[in-house]
Chain A
Amino acid sequence: MYRTLGGRVVPSTARGGVRVIRRRLATETPTTEPLPQKKRHIVRTILLTTTGLVGTFYIGSPFLAFKNEPYHEFFTEQVPLGYSMMQYAEDNNWETMTLDSILTSSQQTFASAQRYVTDTLSGKSGTAEEAKTAVKNTKDAAVKAIQDSKDRATSAAARIKTGIKKETSTATAIVKHQSEQFSRGVQELIREAEAALTNGTGPDSASTPDAPASSSQSPPTDAADRSVYNAPLPVGFELPPGYSRPTPPPKKPEPEPETPPLPRLSPTLDSITASEPIIAHLAGTIDNLTSYLEKNPAANAQAAPVLENAKEDLTALAARIEKVRDDERAELEAKLDEQTREYTVKLMDLEMEAQDRLDGQEQEFRRYFDEERARLTHAYREKLENELHTQTELINERLKEEVIAQGIELQRRWIREIKVRVEEERGGRLAKIDELSANLKRLERVALDNSTYLDENIRIHALWSALRALSSSALSSPVRKPFREELRVLRHVAAAREDPVAVAALESLEGSDVPDVGVEPFADLATWFTAEVAPKVSHVALVPDENAGLLSHLASRAFAGLRFKRQGLVNGDDVLSVLARAEYHLNEKDLDSAARELNQLKGTARLLLHDWLEAARRRLEVQQALEVVQAQATLASLLVV
C-alpha cells in the first residue's frame, strides 16, 4: 500500500519526468537482448516482439530520418510520437552518435550500476558512501537534466511561435509515457522488495533505505538500481537464471540484524517516521521481528546487540537521508531558482524583442491606419458633404413647400379671422349700420310709398282734372261741341292708372262718333222737347199704331187740340200722360227718367221722338261713362286716402 502510493506520487513530479526520458533508452535497449531467449508463451512472445519492433522502429527511425529527408518528414508528420522522438534525438545529438559511443555509454552505465550494486552489497557501513555516490549521481543527473531542459527550453522558446500546442501535447505525452514506465519500474522494485521480505528471511536494513531513497529522492539512482534489477523484472515469475544473481546477495545479509535485545525501534524513530513512512514501516517490521525473538528466548541473547546495532544504524541512516535530502533539495531549489531567473530573463528578452517587433508593426499599422483613416475621412467627408448638400436642398425644398403651405394656411386663418372680426364688427358697429340701412330701407319704403302715394294722388288728380275738363266740355258746356281731345286725355290717364272699368267705359265711348259730334246740352234738349217735340207728338197722340192713314192723322190732329193738357206726374199709358211725365222729369232735370218714359211710346209718336231720343241717349251715355269714371276716381282717391 505505502510503497505503491509512494512510488506513484514521486515520478509524477515535473523534476522526475525529464529524467525518465533519459532512462528510457536504458530500458529499451536491454529489452532487445532477452527477446530471442523467451519463446515459451505465445502472448509473451508476441508482446515482446511487438515491443522490440516498436522500439527498434522508434529508435532506428531518427537515424534513418537524419539521412533521408523525405522519411524525416514522413516520420515527424505521420507517425505518432514521431516528432517528439525526433526532438529527443536532436536534443541528444543522435546525428553524431555512433555505435561505439552507444556501446561505451551503455558500458559506463552498466559499470556504474555494477559499482553501485557492489557498494550496496558490501555492507551497511557503505550506505553513506552509497548515498554519496547516489548524491553524486543525482547531481550529475540533475546537471544533465538541467542541461537537457535548458536545451529543450531554448529550442522550445525558438519554436514558440510555430507550434506551442503541438509541442506541449507531445511533451506531455512523452512525460506521461515515461512516468508510466518509471512508475511501472518502481512498482516492480517494490514488488521485488516485498517478495524478498515475505520470503521469510526478513527485511534487510541495507535495502530498506534504498527503496525509499530511490523512490523519493533521485530517479537516476533508480535507473542505476534497475539496471541491476532489470533481469528479475517480470513480476510473479521465476527469476531468470543469468541475471538474477546479483540481487539475491543483498537479501541474505538482511536476516543478520534479527538479534533480540528487545529494544523497540518505532518509538525511537518517531521523528523520522513522520516524514518517512517506509522507514517507519521497516521499523515496525523490525519491531515485529524483535517481538518474535522475544518469544524465542533462545535467540534472544544473540539478537539483542544486533537489533541495537540495527536500530542505531537505522536512526543514523534516517538522519543522514534527511540531511542529504534537505541539502539536495536546497541545492536543487537554488539551481531551479537560478534557472527560473535565467529563463525569465530570456523570456523577458524574447518578450521585449517581440514587443519591439510588435511595436514596430504597430507603428506601421498605426501609420497605415492613420493614412487610411485620413483617406476614408476625406472620402466620407466628401460623401457626407454631398449628402448634406442634397439633404439641405431637400430640406430647403420641403421648407419652401411648408412655408407655402403655412402661408396658405395663414392666409386661410387670416381670412377666417377677418371674417370673425367682421362678424364681431357687424355685431358692434356694423350692426348699427345694418340698423341704419334697415332704417334707410324703411325710409325708402316710406318714401317709395309716399312717392307712389303721391304718384297715385297726382294721377288721381290728373284723372279728376281730365274728368272735370271732359264733363265741363261735354256735359255742362252751354253749346254742343266735340270733346274727343278731352276724352283721349282722360282715357290715357285712366289707362295709366290701369283702371279696367274706366278704360272699358271710356273705350266704348271712344269707339262711337259721339266725341266728334259732341252732345246736346241739357237745356237745349229740354227746350227742344218742350217747344218742338212735345206739341207735334201730342198731335199724333190719337193715331193708331197700325194702319194709320191720312184720315187717322187728320182726325188725331183735329181731336188732339180738343183734349186737356195734362201736367205733372200723371198715371196712364196714353201718349199725353207719358209726355206729361216726361215733361215733368225734364223739369226736374232728370233726362234719364224722361228718356225712359218717352222710350215707352210706340207707333207714329215714337217716329217723331226718334231724333230727340237719340240725342238724349248719347248725352246719357256720355254722362254714364263719366259717372263710372268719376266713381272709379272717387274710389281711387278713397283708397289712396
Chain B
Amino acid sequence: MSTPKPPSSEDLLGQKYDRCLADFLVKAGVGFSAGVVLSVVLFRRRTWPIALSTGFGAGIAYADCDRSFNPARIPGTRIISQLPGTEGK
C-alpha cells in the first residue's frame, strides 16, 4: 500500500495464495483438457481419463504451492527443529 513497488511484508501470504490459485487453475485446466482429449481420442468417450488427468494437474499445483509456502521442505529430507530460523528466512 504505502510502498508501491515491493510488496509489503504483510502481503506475502496473499500473493502466495494468489499464485497458488492461478497455478491450480492452470494446472487443473490443463489436466482436464488433456483428459478430455485422451478420453475422446483413446478411450471412446470414457470419463475416467478426464478425472485422472485433472487430478494430476491439481496435484502438481498443490505440490508447487506447498513448496512455495515452505521452501525448505524437500522430499527425503528432515529438518531438525534446532535450526528453524534459517529455514524460515
Q: Which of B12, B20, B84, B85 contacts A608 (CB 8 A)?
A: B12
A536-B10 contact in complex given A524-B2, A546-B81, C-beta closer than 8 Å: yes
Nearest A residue (CB) for B84: A546
**What interface size band does chain B fall in?**
20 to 34
Chain B residues within 8 Å of A548, by CB: 69-70
Nearest A residue (CB) for B63: A550
Nearest B residue (CB) for A531: B1
Chain A residues within 8 Å of B66, by CB: 549-551
Report how far A577 CA is from B1 CA in the complex, Å: 26
The reply to whether B85 and A607 form a contact with Cβ atoms under 8 Å apart is no
Interface size of A in residues (CB-CB distance below 8 Å): 27
Distance in Å: Cβ of B12 to nearest Cβ of chain A: 6
Report how far A156 CA is from B11 CA in the complex, Å: 188
| Secondary structure class of chain B's binding surface, majority of residues | helix
Q: Say if the beta carbon of A115 comes within 8 Å of chain B.
A: no
Report how far A553 CA is from B8 CA in the complex, Å: 18
The reply to whether B9 and A540 form a contact with Cβ atoms under 8 Å apart is no
Q: Say if the beta carbon of B46 comes within 8 Å of chain A.
A: no
The reply to whether A532 and B8 form a contact with Cβ atoms under 8 Å apart is yes
Nearest B residue (CB) for A553: B69
The reply to whether A611 and B8 form a contact with Cβ atoms under 8 Å apart is yes
Chain B residues within 8 Å of A539, by CB: 13
Contact residues, B5-46 vs A (CB, 8 A)? 8-14, 20
The reply to whether B88 and A611 form a contact with Cβ atoms under 8 Å apart is no
Q: Say if the beta carbon of A537 comes within 8 Å of chain B.
A: yes
Report how far A546 CA is from B87 CA in the complex, Å: 8
Chain B residues within 8 Å of A608, by CB: 9-10, 12-13
Give the one of A524, A533, A536, A552 with max B CB within 10 A: A536
Report how far A553 CA is from B70 CA in the complex, Å: 10
Q: Say if the beta carbon of B62 comes within 8 Å of chain A.
A: yes
Chain B residues within 8 Å of A606, by CB: 88
B47-66 Cβ-contact flags toward A at 8 Å (1 or 0): 00000000000000010011
Report how far A370 CA is from B65 CA in the complex, Å: 168
Q: Which of A551, A603, A609, A611 contacts B3 (CB 8 A)?
A: A611
Interface residues, chain A, CB within 8 Å of chain B?
A: 524, 528, 532-533, 536-537, 539-540, 545-553, 602-604, 606-612
5 tightest A-B CB contacts, nearest first:
A611-B9, A610-B9, A546-B84, A536-B10, A550-B66
